């Protein structure tokens, strides 16, 4: 699949549920209303749609959410997709908050998952509880170490939040180095109504990098995972740090991904409203996979050049009304 700007689309992110067992302050309001379960694609439908995408050239699939591991029977989807590894699909991975990894790490590995991203914004228990509203850090840490013990490579995702974790990055780099984890730092993106003001949270990663380089020797690398991060190597630990800077740096030129929501809506860009409904063609009586593939091709032909995020609109509504938990982070 080649989009109008010549970019080859090989990476599909699938939000398998909009629900979550945490309420991170930058992601959700505390009293989020979730979609009625009847609107969700079944796991069989998600598997079928993923199969169509693989047939069209997708080589990497990441399951995300909401919290993907809270969806009932989600391991069945992992197993079915895992069975496609080596025949079209190169990589199956997941982004998780880690709370369910104690239960599922071994199963993920058995399904063919080799690398996972776990979101952890702080190593401080009190701060973790504040950032996630409902979370207990020990559950996430136990999950992370269960995943390590199961042989999964781990990347820790941390959203950089002004005045919250900006003094912690040195200790997080050290902790990740000690345990053999990569670290990926993310700027906040203006997605969805939350309870506070996002401009108060925004911390440019250029500043974080500059500060880190006072303690660590950071060497630019051309390491790429198919995602939007730019990586440096930390010479002292041998681990990598990725920087995802949607706002300070436009990461769109090399965009190879599209996002499918749990209701079968395909977003061609995280930062634009345009979307295609794939649930209708999928559920049309008698529809073949080729009919669904045609709807996907038509959507890819409309993939926009890039997003229009801006952060400096103090007090203004979010750039997009939908939450990251709907589109999938
Ligand atoms: N629940 C899983 C988790 O937390 O990893 C997967 C879904 S979550 C939406 C995926 C990633 O998006 C997380 O790393 C989270 O920190 C990040 N995220 C959520 N809202 C964001 C926002 N407004 N700006 C930047 N990153 C955000
Ligand atoms: Fe849940 Fe992930 Fe959003 Fe936190 S970032 S509320 S864990 S979906």
Relative to the CA of 20, which ligand 1 atom is closest?
1
Whole-angstrom Cα distance, residue 36 to residue 47?
A: 20
pLDDT digits (tens, 9 = 90+) for 248-304: 656 678 888 999 999 999 999 887 888 999 999 999 999 999 999 999 999 999 988
Separation of 159 CA from ligand 1 center, angstroms? 8
pLDDT of residue 26: 84
Mean pLDDT over each residue of the chain, to the nearest integer: 90
Whole-angstrom Cα distance, residue 223 to residue 209?
A: 17
Relative to the CA of 117, which ligand 1 atom is closest?
5
Whole-angstrom Cα distance, residue 240 to residue 226?
A: 15
- The protein residue with its alpha carbon nearest to ligand 1, atom 8, reads 329
Whole-angstrom Cα distance, residue 258 to residue 151?
A: 29
Residue 99 near ligand 1, beta carbon < 6 Å: no
* Beta strands at 218-220 and 230-234: parallel, antiparallel or unpaired: antiparallel
- pTM equals 0.92
Separation of 235 CA from ligand 1 center, angstroms? 28
> Out of 27-31, 50-54, 86-90, 198-202, which region has the weakest mean confidence (pLDDT)?
198-202
- Residue 328: which pLDDT band, with cuts at 50, 70 and 90? low
Whole-angstrom Cα distance, residue 208 to residue 25?
A: 21
Domains and CATH numbers, the chain: 11-327 (3.20.20.70)
CA angle 245, 16, 110 (to 5 degrees): 95
253 vs 12 pLDDT, higher one? 12
Query: Which residues, judged by CB distance below 6 Å to any ligand atom, belong to the binding site of ligand 2?
Result: 20, 22-24, 27-28, 65-67, 97, 119, 325
Q: Is 219 exposed, middle or buried (0-12, 13-18, 19+ CB in 10 A)?
A: exposed
pLDDT digits (tens, 9 = 90+) for 231-252: 999 999 999 999 988 766 566 7
Compute the CA torsion angle 95, 98, 102, 104 (nearest 10 deg).
-20
3-state secondary structure of 163: coil
Residue 2 has pLDDT above 80, yes or no: yes
């Amino acid at each position: 699949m080649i989009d109008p700007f010549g970019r080859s689309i090989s990476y599909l992110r699938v939000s398998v549920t909009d629900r979550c067992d945490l309420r991170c302050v930058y992601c959700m309001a505390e009293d989020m209303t979730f979609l009625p379960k009847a609107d969700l694609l079944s796991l069989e439908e998600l598997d079928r749609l993923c199969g169509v995408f693989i047939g069209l050239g997708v080589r990497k699939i990441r399951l995300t959410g909401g919290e993907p591991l809270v969806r009932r029977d989600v391991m069945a989807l992992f197993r079915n997709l895992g069975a496609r590894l080596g025949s079209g699909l190169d990589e199956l991975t997941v982004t998780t908050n880690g709370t369910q990894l104690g239960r599922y790490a071994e199963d993920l590995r058995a399904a063919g998952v080799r690398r996972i991203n776990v979101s952890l914004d702080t190593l401080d228990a009190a701060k973790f509880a504040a950032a996630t509203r409902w979370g207990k850090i020990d559950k996430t840490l136990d999950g992370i170490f269960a995943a390590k013990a199961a042989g999964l490579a781990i990347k820790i995702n941390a959203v950089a939040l002004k005045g919250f974790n900006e003094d912690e990055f040195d200790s997080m780099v050290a902790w990740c180095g000690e345990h053999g984890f990569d670290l990926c730092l993310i700027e906040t993106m203006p997605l969805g109504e939350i309870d506070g003001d996002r401009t108060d949270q925004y911390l440019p990663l250029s500043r974080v990098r500059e500060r880190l380089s006072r303690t660590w020797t950071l060497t630019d690398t051309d390491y790429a995972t198919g995602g939007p991060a730019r990586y440096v190597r930390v010479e002292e630990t041998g681990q990598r740090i990725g920087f995802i800077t949607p706002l300070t740096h436009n990461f769109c030129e090399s965009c190879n991904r599209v996002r499918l929501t749990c209701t079968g809506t395909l977003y061609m860009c995280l930062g634009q409203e345009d979307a295609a409904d794939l649930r209708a063609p999928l559920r049309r009586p008698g529809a073949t996979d080729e009919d669904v593939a045609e709807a996907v091709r038509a959507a890819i032909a409309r993939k926009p050049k890039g997003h229009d995020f801006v952060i400096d609109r103090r007090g203004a509504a979010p750039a997009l009304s939908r939450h990251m938990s709907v589109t999938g982070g």
